[in-house]
Structure 1
Amino acid sequence: MASAQIQTLLRFLSQDVKVPLATAMGKTLELQKANLITIEQISKANLEILEGIFNDKKIAKQVLNAAKRISKKRGASDDTKSSPQKRNKSSKPLKKDSTPFEIESSLSLPSTAVNEDELSGTVVVTNRAPLVLAFAVCVLKYTMPEQPLSSRLSLAQAVVSANSRTKAASLGLEEGNSAEQEGWGEGHPIVKVLGRDIRVLKRWDYDPNEGKPPIETKTEDQSENTQDKQNQMPPLWGVDLEALRGKDSNHNTGRHQTTDNTLSIFRPESARSYLYRAFSKPAEEGKTAPKKKSVASIEDEKEECLGRILSAIDMVCQSWVPKLDQAELDRRAWSWYIRVRPDVQSGVQGWGEKGQVKLSDILALRRGI
Structure 2
Amino acid sequence: MASAGDLQALLRFLSQDAKVPLAQAMGKIKELQAAKLNTASNLAGANVDRLKTIFEDDKIARQVLNAAKRVSKKRRSSESSASVPAPPPKKAKPVYGQPLSPAEFEASLALPEAERDETTLMGAVVYTNRAPLVLAFAVTLLKYTMPEQPISSRLSLAQAVTSMNSKTKAVHIGIDREKAAEDEGWGKGQPLIKVMTRELRVMKRWGYEWEEPATQSTFDSSTQETLASPQATLAHEYAAKPPALWGVDLEALKKASAPNITTSNRSSLSDLPIYTAQSARAYLIKAFDTPPDRKVVTSKKQTAKMTSAEKERNLGLLLGALELLYESWANVLSKEDMDKRAWGWYVRVRPDVATGAAGWGGKGNVKLADILELRRPSDTVKAEAG
Q: Shorter chain as normaliser: what TM range? A: 0.5 to 0.7
Shift in alpha-carbon separation, 1:241–1:255, aligned structure 2, 3 A? farther
Shift in alpha-carbon separation, 1:94–1:179, aligned structure 2, 3 A? farther
Q: Which residue of 1 aligns with 2:219?
A: 220
Q: Which residue of 2 aligns with 1:296?
A: 305
State whether structure 2 residue 310 is matched by structure 1 residue 310: no
Q: Which residue of 1 aligns with 2:262?
A: 251
| Percentage of pairs with the same residue | 48
1:209-260 Cα deviation digits (max 9, x unpaired):
1xx4x8976332897998464144311100001101111221336988333x
Q: Which residue of 2 aligns with 1:202?
A: 204
Cα separation, 1, equivalents of 2:190 and 2:263: 19
Cα separation, 1, equivalents of 2:170 and 2:341: 24
Cα separation, 1, equivalents of 2:336 and 2:195: 9
Q: Which residue of 2 aligns with 1:186?
A: 188
Instruction: For residue 107 of structure 2, give the secondary structure of its aligned residue in structure 1.
Output: helix
Cα separation, 2, equivalents of 1:310 and 1:94: 34
The one-letter amino acid of 2:345's match is W
Shift in alpha-carbon separation, 1:349–1:140, aligned structure 2, 3 A? farther
1:265 to 264, 267, 274: 274
Instruction: For residue 218 of structure 1, give the secondary structure of its aligned residue in structure 2.
Output: helix
How far off its partner does 1:281 sit?
A: 1.1
Q: Which residue of 2 aligns with 1:234?
A: 243
1:257-288 Cα deviation digits (max 9, x unpaired):
333xx211000000000000000111236988
Matched residue pairs, number?
271
TM-score by length of 2: 0.64
1:298-348 Cα deviation digits (max 9, x unpaired):
111000000110111011111101000010000000000000001112567
Instruction: For residue 172 of structure 1, give the secondary structure of its aligned residue in structure 2.
Output: coil
Aligned partners of 1:257 and 1:263 also within 8 Å:
yes
Q: Which residue of 2 aligns with 1:323?
A: 332
State whether structure 2 residue 290 is matched by structure 1 residue 281: yes
Cα separation, 2, equivalents of 1:150 and 1:330: 19
Q: Which residue of 2 aligns with 1:118?
A: 120
Q: Which residue of 2 aligns with 1:142?
A: 144
1:174 to 158, 173, 176: 176
Instruction: For residue 129 of structure 1, give the secondary structure of its aligned residue in structure 2.
Output: helix
Greater shift in the superposed pair: 245-254 or 165-174? 245-254
1:133 to 129, 135, 146: 135
Instruction: For residue 139 of structure 1, give the secondary structure of its aligned residue in structure 2.
Output: helix
Query: Structure 1 regions of 5+ residues with no counterpart?
Result: 1-92
Aligned partners of 2:114 and 2:318 also within 8 Å:
no
Aligned partners of 1:128 and 1:351 also within 8 Å:
no
Cα separation, 2, equivalents of 1:176 and 1:154: 24
Cα separation, 2, equivalents of 1:286 and 1:149: 31
Greater shift in the superposed pair: 266-275 or 242-251? 242-251
Q: Which residue of 1 aligns with 2:50?
A: none
User: Runs of 4+ in structure 1 displaced over 6 angstroms?
Assistant: 214-217, 221-226, 286-290, 347-350
Shift in alpha-carbon separation, 1:356–1:171, aligned structure 2, 3 A? same
Q: Which residue of 2 aligns with 1:357?
A: 366
Shift in alpha-carbon separation, 1:283–1:231, aligned structure 2, 3 A? same
Shift in alpha-carbon separation, 1:276–1:187, aligned structure 2, 3 A? same
Shift in alpha-carbon separation, 1:286–1:196, aligned structure 2, 3 A? closer
Please provide the CA RMSD for this pair: 2.9
Cα separation, 1, equivalents of 2:366 and 2:140: 17
Greater shift in the superposed pair: 94-103 or 160-169? 94-103
Instruction: For residue 374 of structure 2, give the secondary structure of its aligned residue in structure 1.
Output: helix
The one-letter amino acid of 1:357's match is V
Aligned partners of 2:109 and 2:151 also within 8 Å:
yes
The one-letter amino acid of 1:122's match is A
Shift in alpha-carbon separation, 1:348–1:111, aligned structure 2, 3 A? farther
Shift in alpha-carbon separation, 1:347–1:98, aligned structure 2, 3 A? farther
1:105 to 99, 107, 115: 107
The one-letter amino acid of 2:218's match is T
Cα separation, 1, equivalents of 2:295 and 2:103: 48
Shift in alpha-carbon separation, 1:166–1:129, aligned structure 2, 3 A? same
Greater shift in the superposed pair: 264-273 or 219-228? 219-228
Structure number with greater Rg is 2
Greater shift in the superposed pair: 339-348 or 97-106? 339-348
Instruction: For residue 202 of structure 1, give the secondary structure of its aligned residue in structure 2.
Output: strand
